Amino acid sequence: MTTDGGKVALVTGGARGIGAAIAARLARDGYRVVVADREAPPAHGAGRYVACDVSDAAAVAALLETIRATEGRLDALVCNAGIMIRKPVEELTLAEWSAVIGTNLTSAFLLIRAAAGLLRAARGAVVMIASTRAHMSEADTEAYAASKGGLVALTHALAISLGPEVRVNCISPGWIHTNGAAPRPEDHADHPAGRVGVAEDIAALAAFLLGPDAGFVTGAEFVADGGMTRKMIYRD
């Protein structure tokens, strides 16, 4: 699909991993892409890069001002920025908890608050990148799970508040391989889909949700995990 000329997308946490794949896909689909991240993307990264700590209200306000001044509109917002601090809850400091919640959840509120006018004017769409960890957990991931659960709830709240001008949906990825050691054959076999996910799987779903073919879809969570949250596992 090629969008009509000049549509603009903002992707946070877009320098690497899932965010970079989404930015690249949207650029191929014809969007002018703005990538916001604390770290610069590689030289071949898609779109215009803006250094931004999305947990900081002033930085987010400045980011949206650059979009108003440079691109002049905003049709699509992807709230993808996220961090994890994994440690036993007894050892997790309030500062660490706040850093995870700020980057993963509060950032989405700040971005949409700052971007709402532009999104309404464009009759745009928002995609939150949550996680299957909103529904299931490993040990010592309380802050991350809470932040991702918050994004799922924020999605339906915003869909009601911003509709019908703006659609808001979220994607909850499962195991998406973006770096590190390649998954083992047994890792692929564990998935009902037959493989571990790749970033392009999430990018394709985000592109659909941001585009006109999803015009009747809002307030929804899409779990993209190869079927793992539906698989019952028993041990003898």
Which uninterrupted H or E stretch holds 95? Answer: helix 94-101
Distances (CA, A) of 70 to 65, 101, 204: 8, 30, 27
Taking the C-alpha atoms of residue 200 and residue 18, their distance in angstroms, rounded to an integer, is: 7
144 is catalytic: yes
3-state secondary structure (DSSP) of residue 35: strand
Rounded (10°) angle between helices 17-28 and 199-210: 50
User: Using CA atoms in the order 146, 148, 149, 155, what is the torsion angle rounded to 10 degrees?
Assistant: 140
3-state secondary structure (DSSP) of residue 79: strand
Distances (CA, A) of 19 to 67, 199, 235: 18, 8, 36
Taking the C-alpha atoms of residue 99 and residue 85, their distance in angstroms, rounded to an integer, is: 9
Check 31, 49, 144, 234 and give the catalytic one.
144
Taking the C-alpha atoms of residue 108 and residue 218, their distance in angstroms, rounded to an integer, is: 17
- Which residue, chain included where needed, has tokens 């980011």? 63
Task: Give catalytic residues, as residue numbers.
Answer: 144
